[in-house]
Copies of this chain bind each other. A is one copy, B any other.
Amino acid sequence: MIEYRNLKIAILGGGTVGANVVELLGRHREELEARVGTGLEVIGVAVRDANAPRTPAIPAELLTTDAESLLTAADIVVELIGGLEPARTYVLKALRSGADVITANKALLATHGPELFDAAEQVGAQLYYEAAVAAAIPIIRPLRESLAGDRIRRILGIVNGSTNFILDKMDIEGWSTDEAMRVARELGYLEADPTLDVEGYDAAQKAAILASLAFHTQVPLDAVHREGIAGVTHEQVAAAHDAGYVVKLLAIAERLDGPDGHEGVAARVHPALVPRDHPLAAVHGGNNAVFVEAEFAGELMFYGAGAGGVQTASAVLGDIVSAARRHLAGGPGVAESTSADLPVLPFAAVRTRYQVALDVADRPGVLAAVAQLVADHGVSIETASQTTRPGEGGAEPTATLVIVTHRAAESALAATVAALGRSEAVERVTSVLRVEGL
A interface residues with partner B (beta carbon < 8 Å): 20, 24, 28, 31-32, 34-35, 37, 130, 135-138, 140-142, 145-151, 216, 279, 282, 294, 296-305, 308, 310-311, 313-322, 325, 329-335, 337, 339-340
Contacts and interface: CB of A to CB of B under 8 A. Distances in A.
Contacts of A216: 34-35
Contacts of A310: 296, 298
A45 B431 CA distance: 58
Nearest to A333: B329
A204 to B, nearest CB: 24
B137 A322 contact: no
A331 B148 CA distance: 21
B145 A322 contact: yes
Contact of A320 (B130, B149, B313, B334): B149
B148 A35 contact: yes
Contact of A148 (B297, B301, B318, B339): B318
Contacts of A24: 149, 296
Contacts of A337: 34-35
Contacts of A308: 298
Nearest to A148: B321
A402 to B, nearest CB: 27
Contacts of A296: 20, 24, 136, 310-311, 313-314, 317
Contacts of A141: 138, 141-142, 145-146
A298 B294 contact: no
Contacts of A311: 296-298
Nearest to A310: B296
A279 B303 contact: yes
Contacts of A137: 297, 300
Contact of A146 (B148, B301, B315, B334): B315
Contacts of A146: 130, 136, 138, 140-141, 315, 318
A391 to B, nearest CB: 44
B340 A297 contact: no
19 contacts: A28-B149, A34-B339, A130-B146, A138-B141, A145-B318, A148-B317, A149-B316, A296-B310, A298-B305, A298-B308, A299-B304, A299-B305, A300-B303, A301-B301, A301-B304, A302-B302, A302-B303, A303-B303, A329-B329
A20 B303 CA distance: 29
A149 B312 CA distance: 11
B294 A314 contact: yes
For the complex of A and B, list the 6 residue pairs with the smallest distance between their C-beta atoms, beginning with the closest.
Answer: A149-B317, A136-B297, A138-B146, A34-B339, A329-B331, A296-B314
